[in-house]
């Protein structure tokens, strides 16, 4: 099937689906200037030594790691980036009643900035816009903590209990919030179409969600620039830029509605 016919089929599946769940990853935000991890320009592809900064053990054990993480947070593009066509297209799908839940591995908040209803977004790997205390779980907006770093405190401690603080993002070796995992699982079990966009589908346990969807009888559609381990089992694989592909799907949905 050629690309246009495939996109038309996907638009028809979306129009006919009872419950669509989108699963997004770092690839939806690269066009906003936020690098992914594993793509050709990804953080770990170009600077593999940075991987250690995402380990919870390293963060807990090594003050140098914490200080480096806070310094890098100061210039994280997520704080200045805006939503791109992929975020806007997913928000438009939701506005038209085609999106039940959006599970995102991204921590940048750009789906909500792009207009997706925050109540429908499950930020399964947390958010960079908040900071939590690893001892007393106190959660605060990130801005004032970054101001402390700017003022010269290289590793600001929790003002309530003196514990270590970290952005409210899930590091390697750190458990996911069970209630968010449950929400993602429940939405997946109930969906008849999963749209995986801009994700390598290799980070667990999130990478199990497409398998859950398939085993529950749902169709899987993959929109990604590179291969994923699920390509063989997908109903359609659309290789290309997430924003361009999603806009093409929206255009076909328009023509279906006009027909
Ligand atoms: P990943 O880096 O493993 O994979 C991203 C995938 O997106 C790659 O396969 C790449 O080919 C593809 N891609 C890149 N640009 C694309 C585009 N414009 N259109 C279509 N596809 C594109 O990312 P992942 O699967 O999300 O998993 C990595 C982890 O990285 C996640 O846990 C996530 O929390 C974290 N992360 C988040 C951000 C963010 O919040 N924006 C950025 C980097 C990493």
- What is the CATH classification number for the domain harbouring 149? 3.30.1600.10
pLDDT band at 235 (very low <50, low <70, confident <90, very high): very high
Looking at the structure, tell me whether residues 86 and 76 fall in a common domain.
Answer: no
pLDDT band at 65 (very low <50, low <70, confident <90, very high): very high
Provide the pLDDT for residue 164.
98
What integer best gives the mean pLDDT of the chain?
96
Helix (H, G, I), strand (E, B) or coil at 39: coil
The predicted model gives 63-75 an average pLDDT of 96
Cα–Cα distance for residue pair 233/131, rounded to 1 Å: 38
Ligand 1 centre to CA of 224 (Å) is: 9
Domain containing residue 189: 1-34+82-125+176-259
Residues 14, 230, 128, 79, Cα dihedral to 10°: -70
Looking at the structure, tell me whether residues 158 and 187 fall in a common domain.
Answer: no
Nearest CA to ligand 1 atom 18: 241
Nearest CA to ligand 1 atom 32: 105
Looking at the structure, tell me whether residues 109 and 213 fall in a common domain.
Answer: yes
Cα–Cα distance for residue pair 171/169, rounded to 1 Å: 6
Task: Annotate 206-216 with b (16+ C-beta within 10 A) or e (fewer).
Answer: bbebbebbbee
Looking at the structure, tell me whether residues 67 and 91 fall in a common domain.
Answer: no
With pLDDT > 70 as the criterion, what percentage of the chain qualifies? Answer: 100
Looking at the structure, tell me whether residues 16 and 41 fall in a common domain.
Answer: no
For the segment 139-186, what is each residue's pLDDT rounded down to a tens digit? 999 999 999 999 999 999 999 999 999 999 999 999 999 999 999 999
Looking at the structure, tell me whether residues 95 and 184 fall in a common domain.
Answer: yes
pLDDT band at 259 (very low <50, low <70, confident <90, very high): low
Cα–Cα distance for residue pair 217/18, rounded to 1 Å: 13
Structure token pair of residue 14: 């979306």
pLDDT over threshold 80, residue 239: yes
Atom of ligand 1 nearest to the CA of 38: 2
pLDDT over threshold 80, residue 1: no
- CA proximity to 84, closest of 44, 5, 24: 24
Provide the pLDDT for residue 96.
95
pLDDT over threshold 90, residue 255: no
Q: What pTM was estimated for this model as a whole?
A: 0.96
**Does ligand 1 come within 6 angstroms of the Cβ of 108?**
yes
Looking at the structure, tell me whether residues 14 and 141 fall in a common domain.
Answer: no
- Catalytic residue, chosen from 111, 125, 129, 252, is 125
Looking at the structure, tell me whether residues 42 and 154 fall in a common domain.
Answer: yes
Of 50-54, 112-116, 139-143, the one with minimum mean pLDDT is: 50-54
Q: What is the CATH number of the domain that holds 251?
A: 3.40.50.1220
With pLDDT > 90 as the criterion, what percentage of the chain qualifies? Answer: 89
Looking at the structure, tell me whether residues 165 and 231 fall in a common domain.
Answer: no
- CA proximity to 239, closest of 252, 250, 224: 224
Overall number of domains in the chain? 2
Cα–Cα distance for residue pair 16/58, rounded to 1 Å: 47
**Does ligand 1 come within 6 angstroms of the Cβ of 27?**
yes
Looking at the structure, tell me whether residues 135 and 247 fall in a common domain.
Answer: no
Looking at the structure, tell me whether residues 221 and 103 fall in a common domain.
Answer: yes
Looking at the structure, tell me whether residues 30 and 46 fall in a common domain.
Answer: no
125 is catalytic: yes
pLDDT over threshold 90, residue 41: no
Ligand 1 centre to CA of 197 (Å) is: 9
- CA proximity to 23, closest of 243, 196, 143, 152: 196
């Amino acid at each position: 099937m050629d690309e246009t016919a495939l996109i038309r089929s996907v638009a028809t599946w979306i129009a006919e689906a009872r419950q669509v769940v989108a699963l997004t990853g770092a690839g939806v935000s690269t066009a906003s200037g936020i690098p992914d991890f594993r793509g050709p320009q990804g953080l770990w592809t170009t600077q593999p030594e940075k991987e250690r900064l995402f380990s919870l053990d390293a963060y807990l054990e090594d003050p140098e790691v914490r200080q480096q993480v806070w310094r890098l947070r100061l210039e994280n593009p997520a704080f200045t980036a805006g939503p791109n066509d992929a975020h806007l297209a997913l928000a438009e799908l939701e506005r038209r009643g085609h999106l039940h839940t959006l599970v995102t591995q991204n921590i940048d908040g750009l789906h909500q900035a792009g207009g997706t209803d925050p109540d429908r977004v499950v930020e399964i790997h947390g958010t960079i816009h908040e900071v939590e205390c690893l001892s007393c779980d106190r959660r605060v907006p990130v801005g004032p903590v970054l101001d402390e770093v700017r003022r010269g405190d290289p590793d600001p401690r929790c003002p309530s209990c003196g514990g270590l603080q970290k952005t409210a993002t899930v590091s390697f070796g750190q458990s996911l919030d069970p209630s968010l995992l449950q929400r993602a699982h429940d939405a997946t079990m109930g969906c008849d179409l999963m749209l995986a966009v801009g994700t390598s589908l290799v980070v667990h346990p999130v990478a199990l969600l497409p398998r859950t969807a398939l085993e529950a009888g749902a169709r899987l559609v993959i929109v990604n620039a590179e291969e994923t381990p699920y390509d063989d089992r997908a109903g359609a694989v659309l290789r290309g830029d997430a924003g361009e592909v999603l806009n093409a799907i929206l255009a076909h949905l328009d023509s279906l509605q006009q027909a």
